[in-house]
């Protein structure tokens, strides 16, 4: 949950803002009349800025992903921090959607509503209680338990809600809260099953103390504080911790064991401003998490990736092919202000990602993140060239905004046989994604000589101006004779994955004209360098929903 109170202060400090969220006083009302129960809210996904393969809410404001789990039938569940009644943060519910491929989503009825003593249903997680440790399930082995932060007027505490129908409808536990310490900044429980100790383990943020608490429980109802992780260098407030085993990727690409990962979302206090995530590889021994070192590692070198959550599988194991995650693709600095509001919605999720940890020969411990299988959304190949040394490849996509594939691309580039002693100083690969109607551009440039800097530039997109909206992001990459990238473009969400996913970035962009043309160029290369480029459309997944 990103801190609404911080938001409130920053909004109050800015007289130009018209909308300030006021938390309603606690009442016995189960839900507001304006918020539908038992039926999904209809969405219109045709808007100019609407992502076509990313998840965004049907209407209203979305922030953190919550309660991610995969049920026994293989359906992925995504819940999310949701304000169904306005396009700014507040009035937090858990929205809900389901998918079998993580790209084609079905919006479901809202799952959790504010209720007696809880004015906001804040961030949390879900587990499947196969062994009925909670005692909530008279007659089944697929009971679903949500563990969330209940936000009241002067307290944040952890509460349970349970579902006997695979997570579609929930009942509040009568013994709530199950964990309360009288703090206004104690939130975002992420629970996993710890196999070695046969206990449930909760990571939860002591947000303002910049510490992560680990609590253990045999039954999800009774929690014991085991330890706190207090290392702090960056970030003013800690939120949305996740701690879980993640597959260890060996240098040869094989996987034989897991390493524990502690993930901490920080907001504010990101090096680029606002919110971002930090992670620590390490080991959790049942009570304490010990990081391998005290390095600062950011999960994303862009600006718009926050509040990551990892999916809980049927047996609590990391899912095959990497631990699966999704993040909120925005930044708390301007999430309430982005220009999608007039279309009736704000915020989308990142692409779903497969994650590994690797102790890399070049850069040491790193997260390796790649898009979850894009196969179900790969559209027509627009252009490709497998020997594009010192050449230009151009792809013109559709220009009709009503077409779900317009403004969506995936660009893949492999460069091999890079010989630093024979490249020109200006050797580079450049990307220009442009609008044929407005001339606006997104640009990226990777230096293949010299400093190996990678620049992502959204400065020439004109539909949004905000002092926090960094126009350019620059990072330096470490590589020798090979470089590769997968880049996705989706109306207003830009993601790049470089060096096999060892680095990745998420950036929002808001152009007046839809970006419909891609140009990839290389320069300064020698005769040996091999460059392979492929540009495809992405098949939008939301039009069925919009006409439903």
List of residues 6+ apart from 54 with CB closer than 8 A? 329, 348, 349, 350, 351, 490, 493
Q: Does 321 bind ligand NAG (CB under 6 A)?
A: no
- Annotated catalytic residue: which of 64, 129, 457, 516? 64
Please tell me the distance from the alpha carbon of residue 431 to that of residue 509, in angstroms, as a whole number. Answer: 15
Among 16, 73, 139, 254, binds ligand NAG (CB under 6 A): 139
Among 449, 459, 460, 475, binds ligand NAG (CB under 6 A): 449
CB atoms within 10 A of CB 9: 11
At closest approach, how far in Å is the CB of 534 from ligand NAG?
Answer: 4
Q: Does 532 bind ligand NAG (CB under 6 A)?
A: yes
At closest approach, how far in Å is the CB of 39 from ligand NAG?
Answer: 18
At closest approach, how far in Å is the CB of 388 from ligand NAG?
Answer: 5
Please tell me the distance from the alpha carbon of residue 434 to that of residue 233, in angstroms, as a whole number. Answer: 39
Please state whether the peptide bond connecting residue 135 to the residue before it is cis, i.e. omega within 30 degrees of 0. Answer: no
List of residues 6+ apart from 141 with CB closer than 8 A? 130, 131, 132
Mark residue 166 as left, alpha or beta (left: phi above 0; alpha: psi -120 to 50; beta: remaining).
left
Q: Does 137 bind ligand NAG (CB under 6 A)?
A: yes
At closest approach, how far in Å is the CB of 402 from ligand NAG?
Answer: 4
Any catalytic annotation for residue 64? Answer: yes
- The 100-119 contact track toward ligand NAG, x by CB under 6 A, reads ----------------xx--
Contact at 8 Å (CB) between 415 and 531?
yes
Among 10, 414, 430, 438, binds ligand NAG (CB under 6 A): 414
Please tell me the distance from the alpha carbon of residue 6 to that of residue 262, in angstroms, as a whole number. Answer: 24
Among 379, 407, 501, 511, binds ligand NAG (CB under 6 A): 379
At closest approach, how far in Å is the CB of 404 from ligand NAG?
Answer: 9
**Which residue, judged by CB position, is nearest to ligand NAG in the bound state?**
391
Q: Does 472 bind ligand NAG (CB under 6 A)?
A: no
Collapsed DSSP state (helix, strand, coil) of residue 41: coil
At closest approach, how far in Å is the CB of 427 from ligand NAG?
Answer: 8
Please tell me the distance from the alpha carbon of residue 264 to that of residue 205, in angstroms, as a whole number. Answer: 9
Contact range with ligand NAG by CB under 6 A, out of 77-85, 131-139, 299-307, 353-361: 131-139
Q: Does 387 bind ligand NAG (CB under 6 A)?
A: yes
Among 66, 305, 447, 488, binds ligand NAG (CB under 6 A): 447
**DSSP state letter for 420:** T
Q: Does 331 bind ligand NAG (CB under 6 A)?
A: no
Strand partners, 371: 353
Contact at 8 Å (CB) between 296 and 233?
yes
Query: H or E stretch including 146?
Result: strand 144-151
Beta-strand ranges (E) seen in 375-515 are 378-385, 392-396, 408-416, 428-434, 441-447, 453-457, 472-476, 483-490, 493-498, 503-508
Q: Does 98 bind ligand NAG (CB under 6 A)?
A: no
Collapsed DSSP state (helix, strand, coil) of residue 226: strand
The two structure tokens encoding residue 455: 């620049």
DSSP sequence for 49-106 = T--SSS---SSEEEEEEEEEEE-TTS-EEEEEEEETT-SSS-S-EEEEEEESSSSSEE
Binders of ligand NAG in range 166-195 (CB under 6 A): 176, 193
At closest approach, how far in Å is the CB of 73 from ligand NAG?
Answer: 17
Among 65, 247, 316, 501, binds ligand NAG (CB under 6 A): 316
Among 131, 224, 436, 480, binds ligand NAG (CB under 6 A): 131
- Total interface residues for ligand NAG by CB under 6 A: 50
Q: Which residues bind ligand NAG (CB under 6 A)?
A: 44, 46-47, 116-117, 130-132, 135, 137-139, 176, 193, 285-288, 290, 316, 343, 376, 378-380, 385, 387-388, 391, 400, 402-403, 412, 414, 419, 421-422, 425, 445, 447, 449-451, 453, 455, 484, 532-534, 539
Hey, which residues are catalytic here? Answer: 64
């Amino acid at each position: 949950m990103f801190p609404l109170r911080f938001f409130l202060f920053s909004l109050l400090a800015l007289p130009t803002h018209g909308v300030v969220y006021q938390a309603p006083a606690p009442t016995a009302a189960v839900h507001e009349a304006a918020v539908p129960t038992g039926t999904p809210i209809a969405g219109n996904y045709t808007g100019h800025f609407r992502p076509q393969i990313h998840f965004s809410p049907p209407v209203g404001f979305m922030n953190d992903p919550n309660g991610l789990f995969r049920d026994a039938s293989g359906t992925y569940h995504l819940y999310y921090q949701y304000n169904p009644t306005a396009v700014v943060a507040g009035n937090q519910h858990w929205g809900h959607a389901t998918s079998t491929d993580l790209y084609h989503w079905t919006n479901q009825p809202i799952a959790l509503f504010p209720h007696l003593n809880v004015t906001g249903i804040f961030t949390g997680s879900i587990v499947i209680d196969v062994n009925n440790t909670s005692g909530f399930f008279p007659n089944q082995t697929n009971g679903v338990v949500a563990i969330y932060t209940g936000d009241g007027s002067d307290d944040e505490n952890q509460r349970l809600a349970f579902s006997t129908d695979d997570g579609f409808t929930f009942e509040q536990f009568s013994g709530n809260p199950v964990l309360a310490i009288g703090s206004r900044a104690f939130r975002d429980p992420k629970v996993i099953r710890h196999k070695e100790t046969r206990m449930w383990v909760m990571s939860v943020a002591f947000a303002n103390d910049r510490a992560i608490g680990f609590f253990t429980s045999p039954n999800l109802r009774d929690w014991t504080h085991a330890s706190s992780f207090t290392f702090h260098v960056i970030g003013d407030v800690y939120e949305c911790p996740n701690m879980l085993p993640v597959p260890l990727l060996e240098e040869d690409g094989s996987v034989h064991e897991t390493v524990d990962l502690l993930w901490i979302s920080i907001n504010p206090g990101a090096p680029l401003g606002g919110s971002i995530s930090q992670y620590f590889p390490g080991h959790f021994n049942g009570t304490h998490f010990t990081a391998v070192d005290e390095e600062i590692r950011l999960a994303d070198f862009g600006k718009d990736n926050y509040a990551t959550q990892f999916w809980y599988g049927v047996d609590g194991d990391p899912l095959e092919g990497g631990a699966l995650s999704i993040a909120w693709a925005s930044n708390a600095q301007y999430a309430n202000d982005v220009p999608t509001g007039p279309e009736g919605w704000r915020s989308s999720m990142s692409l779903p990602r497969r994650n590994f940890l690797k102790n890399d020969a070049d850069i040491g411990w790193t997260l390796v993140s790649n898009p979850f299988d894009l196969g179900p959304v790969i559209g027509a190949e627009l252009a490709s060239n497998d020997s594009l040394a010192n050449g230009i490849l151009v792809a013109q996509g559709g220009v009709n905004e009503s077409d779900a594939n317009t403004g969506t691309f995936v660009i893949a580039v492999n460069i091999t046989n890079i010989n630093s002693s024979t490249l020109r100083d200006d050797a580079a690969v450049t990307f220009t994604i442009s609008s044929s109607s407005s001339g606006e551009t997104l640009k990226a440039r990777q230096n293949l000589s010299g400093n190996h800097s990678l620049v992502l530039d959204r400065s020439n997109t004109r539909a949004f101006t905000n002092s926090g909206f960094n126009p350019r992001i620059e990072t330096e990459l470490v590589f020798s004779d090979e470089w590769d990238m997968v880049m996705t473009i989706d109306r207003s969400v830009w993601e790049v994955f470089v060096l096999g996913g060892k680095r990745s970035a998420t950036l929002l962009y808001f152009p007046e004209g839809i970006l419909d043309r891609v140009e990839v160029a290389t320069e300064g290369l020698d005769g040996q360098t091999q460059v392979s480029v492929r540009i495809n459309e992405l098949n939008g997944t939301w039009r069925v929903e919009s006409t439903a």
